[in-house]
Each structure stands twice: as C-alpha cells, then as structure tokens.
C-alpha cells in the first residue's frame, strides 16, 4: 500500500524531505493549494485534478510514497518570491504539479487531469 504523507508550507517541506527516508522506494510529490475551512482547496485546478490523481494513485507501486504538499494560501502562492518557485528541487510555476522526487518525471496543471498521463506517471519505474 502506498504510504501517504502530508506537509504544509515550505519550511516544513524542506525539513520533512531532509529527514525523510524512502529506503530506495519511489517518492511522488503533489504540490497543491491549501484547503479552506470547508476542506476544499482555494485552487480550482487542484480541486479539478484531485479525483484523477487519487484514481491513478491506485496504480502506483505498493512500496512507494506519496507526499501531499500544501504550498499555502492564494496570496502566498501568487507571490513570485514564493520559495517553492525558487527551489531548484521543486521549481514550481503552476499548481497542481506532480513530480517524481529527484527524477525528471513531472506533470503540471491540466496534465494532472489526464488519466492516461497519470497512469503512465505512476507506473513508470524510472
């Protein structure tokens, strides 16, 4: 079963990843907008992509990790100096963004709503 982790904010993300031990297992990271009080993200693109990502996650290797990363509220994300945008490991320009940690696999924006791309993303082991 895929091990799921939840991290909110840049500093918490950096600390989590520094201490995280994947034991050689695949690590996929989803960057998404913070949830509002009603439990729904302020990011409509993230809300639209969520069911597609959740469905495709079922095809991910059982021995893998999936990290949900909350990039903050709308003003925090829209700030061009947001550290998620500047970090060479994340280099985000749009959310949602799904990456394979320390690998080239990456889906951004509306790509995260395409079932075929998501299935390839989660089943490709390189």
Q: Which residues, 6 or more positions from 122, have their beta carbon under 8 angstroms from its beta carbon?
A: 28, 56, 57, 59, 60, 61
Length of the chain: 126
Annotated active-site residue in 17, 27, 43, 71: 43
Which of 46, 53, 98, 118 is catalytic? The answer is: 46
In the block, tokens 């201490």 appear at 19
- Residue 41 CB coordination number (10 Å): 22
Active site residue 43: yes
| Catalytic (active-site) positions | 43, 46
């Amino acid at each position: 079963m895929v091990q799921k982790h939840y991290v909110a904010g840049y500093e918490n993300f950096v600390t989590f990843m520094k201490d995280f031990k994947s034991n050689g297992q695949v690590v996929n990271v989803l960057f998404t907008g913070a949830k509002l009080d009603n439990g729904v993200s302020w990011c409509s693109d993230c809300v639209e992509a969520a069911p597609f990502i959740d469905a495709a996650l079922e095809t991910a290797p059982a021995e893998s990790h999936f990290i949900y990363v909350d990039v903050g509220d709308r003003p925090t994300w829209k700030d061009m100096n947001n550290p998620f945008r500047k970090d060479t490991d994340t280099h985000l320009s749009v959310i949602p963004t799904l990456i394979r940690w320390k690998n080239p696999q990456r889906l951004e924006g509306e790509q995260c709503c395409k079932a075929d791309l998501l299935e390839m993303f989660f089943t490709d082991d390189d």
